[in-house]
Amino acid sequence: MLRKIALCLALAAPFAVGCGPASRLSAPDGFAHLGGDGFDDRVGSASGVVVGTRVVPNDPKANLDFWTKAIDLRLRQRGYEPEGAPADVKNSEGLPGRSMHYVFFDGTRKNRYFLDVYATDRRILLVEAAGDANDLGANAPAIVATMRSARLGS
């Protein structure tokens, strides 16, 4: 289960060539910090909902609109179905970003995938959450708050 979720989280950054500076999350009640597994920071619940963050180079150098569209197209090609339109958001440091929500099926059940994208001149901060649709939905406010707590390291 966690491997499938980790694979889903990895889909958002197929163009990443390496890791940039670290990013961090605040874990909500009922979540524990997990090993990185390709993420700068990752927290998970006992039911399998995982939130991860990573920083990748802004290469090719592009703005938030470009990265939002590129990631959305890639996810749709992989069978992810959007839930609503992307929404403008800000993280806890005030960095403007875009939030996108998707549904996907793993063959046995409905899952949800949330992605926040923040682009600076040099780096892209990706904050991702995935899990069973019911589990993620029941914890959505705490998960969204955790996602917005993501911050860039130095």
Residue partners of 7: CB distance under 8 A and separation at least 6:
none
Query: What is the CATH architecture of 2-152?
Result: 3-Layer(aba) Sandwich (3.40)
Interval 115-154: pLDDT, tens: 999 999 999 999 999 999 999 988 899 999 999 999 887 6
Q: pTM of the prediction?
A: 0.83
Average pLDDT, the chain: 85
Q: Which of 55, 62, 47 is nearest to 132 (CA)?
A: 47
Regarding predicted confidence, which is higher, 42 or 10? 42
CA distances (Å), origin 3, targets 48, 63, 104, 118: 10, 31, 15, 25
- Tell how strand 110-119 and strand 50-57 pair up: unpaired
